Amino acid sequence: MTQDRKPSSALGTNTQLVRAGYDPFDYHGFINPPSVRASTVLFPSAEIMDTHAQKYTYGTRGTPTTNALCDAIDELEGSAGTILVPSGLAAVTIAFLAYLSPGDHALVVDSVYGPTRHFCETVLSRFGIEAEFYDPAAGAGIEALFRPNTRLVHTEAPGSNTFEMQDIPAIVEVAHRLGAVVTMDNTWATPLYFRPLDFGVDISIQAVTKYPAGHSDILMGTVSANEKHWSRLKETNGALGICGAPDDAYQVLRGLRTMGVRLERHQQSALAIARWLEDREDVAQVLHPALPSFPGHDLWKRDFKGASGIFSFVLAVSEKAQHKRKAQTFLNALTLFGLGYSWGGFPSLALHVNLFDRRVAPPPSGGPVLRLQIGLEDVGDLIKDLERGFAASV
């Protein structure tokens, strides 16, 4: 006898995560979906082949494994449809390509993920699309930057590396009134802590490389659209032929099952360390939206359900010429924090943030900015490791 497996919005987040996207009785009761790899899918007759009247037609258009992940993400995002792409960066670029045309103007938040800025300034610019970077604090004031050809507003909150918050509902109101689509890179919060579509955003983007995959080994991006914008996204995805691999989709779906408990731990540990840093005299500032001292804290508190495990702090170094050397001395003294890019996996990571590309929002002064991804280690051990960094960089 099969149970009623229909997802219910009344379920708690962790219950939802355990069930989302796949019914084991669709595949003989096996708890996890099979990893179905495909280019060719056979049709039972020439007539059905002619009309494509079956669920699967070709590997680039989805397999039961990639579909299971898309369905799970739709449940979490509340979206009409989701596409999978091979990286988080590709998720941003494909969204831009779907909604922008030559001659268009796009507004992109200045605290955006660096490679997104690079895409705007190279590929988009070559295609005759102008991206203008705006202050993350703009809120409703973004209206002053709109032109008759403004078609897209890209948001990311908290911002990359410096974690500026944005007033998403205020930006959505202006953008929709003036006919622009709103995209949001929601990688930091995941839909567990912020659901962009509930706040009026049209397109929610995640580097599921981070918390959903969760183990520092898989690269994948998801783009989820509301009803109004889904067909254009799906069509662009099909035209470009960019798809996520079934084996990677399998791993991301497996990661989702434990993401709720992992995120809770990342949140707790990161907050404990952020508070510990805030009390130190050799720290000029802690950039973490869940700290009441952070400028965007009120927005975070109003709109978000939680905080994830990545934030930055400013090491107090008065002399500008010493910033890089002090930052490197600090990082070299760490033994548990790895020096590496990306985040959302189990190990803690640290790096010296490069903010030279900021155009509008001034980067924090007072010292070098160090970014920490707080992993699943014990907080006491991580604090001892950070103490080694402070001791080395006096």
Sort residue 286 into left (φ over 0), alpha (ψ -120 to 50) or beta.
beta
Q: Does the protein bind ligand PLP through residue 369 (CB under 6 A)?
A: no
Distance between CA atoms of 329 and 346, rounded to whole angstroms? 24
**Smaller CB separation from ligand PLP, 156 or 202:** 156
252 is a contact residue toward ligand PLP (CB under 6 A): no
**Strand 150-156 relative to strand 81-85, pairing:** unpaired
- Binding of ligand PLP by 185 (CB under 6 A): yes
Output the smallest distance, CB 389 to ligand PLP, in A. 23
Which of 21, 62, 64, 88 is in the footprint of ligand PLP by CB under 6 A? 88
> Structure tokens of 254?
């497996």
Q: Phi/psi of residue 331, each to 5°?
A: -65, -40
3-state secondary structure at position 50: helix
3-state secondary structure of 238: helix
342 binds ligand PLP (CB under 6 A): yes
Nearest residue (CB) to ligand PLP, 17 versus 92: 92
Kindly indicate which of the ranges 134-142, 205-213, 283-291, 370-378 contains the residues binding ligand PLP, using the contact rule CB under 6 A. Answer: 205-213
Are β-strands 181-185 and 150-156 bridged in parallel, bridged antiparallel, or unpaired?
parallel
Amino acid identity for residue 295 in this structure: P
Minimum distance from residue 165 beta carbon to ligand PLP (Å): 14
Least Cβ distance, residue 89 to ligand PLP (angstroms) = 4
List CB contacts of 217: < 8 A, sequence separation 6 or more: 251, 345
- 155 interacts with ligand PLP by CB under 6 A: no
* Residues 6 or more apart whose Cβ sits within 8 Å of residue 28: none
Which of 67, 150, 183, 209 is close enough to bind ligand PLP by CB under 6 A?
A: 209
Is position 180 an interface residue for ligand PLP (rule: CB under 6 A)?
Answer: no
Binding site for ligand PLP (CB under 6 A): 87-89, 113, 156, 160, 185, 187, 207, 209-210, 219, 221, 342
